[in-house]
Amino acid sequence: MNSNIKSTPDLRMIPLGLFSIGVGLFIVGGEFYGAGLSVGAYIAFGLFTAGLGALITGFWAFRADNVFGGVAQSVIGLLFASFAMYDWLFFPSAKDPYVDLAWAAAAAAIVVGIISFASFKAKIPRLASVTLVMLCLFLVFLWAANAFHAPTMLQVSGVIAILTAIMAWIGGLIRLLASLGS
């Protein structure tokens, strides 16, 4: 057997991650836009669903020899789960939670930006790359909203999150339909 031949990565798990991230971003986007969601829905569905779904997808992708999918989904899942844990456990008692969230959003934006950049080199659909860029843009606006105490920036980040959710769902649907056809 020739060891120079690489198999095509298994992509069957990708719809799970994209659908989970889409749900999380849609609910987070609604919260930031000002839809008045309860904190429980925001944390449980918005952050835990996205975090756990993406993390499971990332582990599955690594197992299936899909390194880019594993890294991207695992990192994004951990970021969502970390935001959930912070909002649930530490936000109410933090000295200045907006400074904390600004630093966390900045770090997350940098990491997602790096993954976005790498996605253009990876052999993934351009829609997925654009979705990652939109996720990075959401995090940049989230950083700005918290760093500068700008409610308008928070609303803009909410709109970007909702649009990114829709793109993630479309990407998940395309990948799911492609896996049904094979």
Q: At 27, phi and psi to the nearest 5?
A: -70, -40
Residues with Cβ within 8 Å of residue 181, at least 6 apart in sequence: none
Q: Does pLDDT of 77 surpass 60?
A: yes
The CATH number of the domain covering residues in 14-177: 1.25.40
Read off the pLDDT of each residue in 136-155 and give the average, rounded to a whole number. 97
Domain extent listing, the chain: 14-177
Query: What is the distance between the alpha carbons of residues 141 and 105, in angstroms, rounded to a whole number?
Result: 9
**164 residue type, one letter:** T
DSSP 96: -
Q: Which residue has the higher pLDDT, 179 or 150?
A: 150
Q: What is the pLDDT of residues 22-66, one digit of tens each?
A: 999 999 999 899 887 677 777 777 778 899 999 999 999 999 999
Q: What is the pLDDT of residues 83-106, one digit of tens each?
A: 989 988 898 899 999 999 999 999
CB-CB contact of 69 with 61 (8 Å): yes
pLDDT at residue number 87: 87
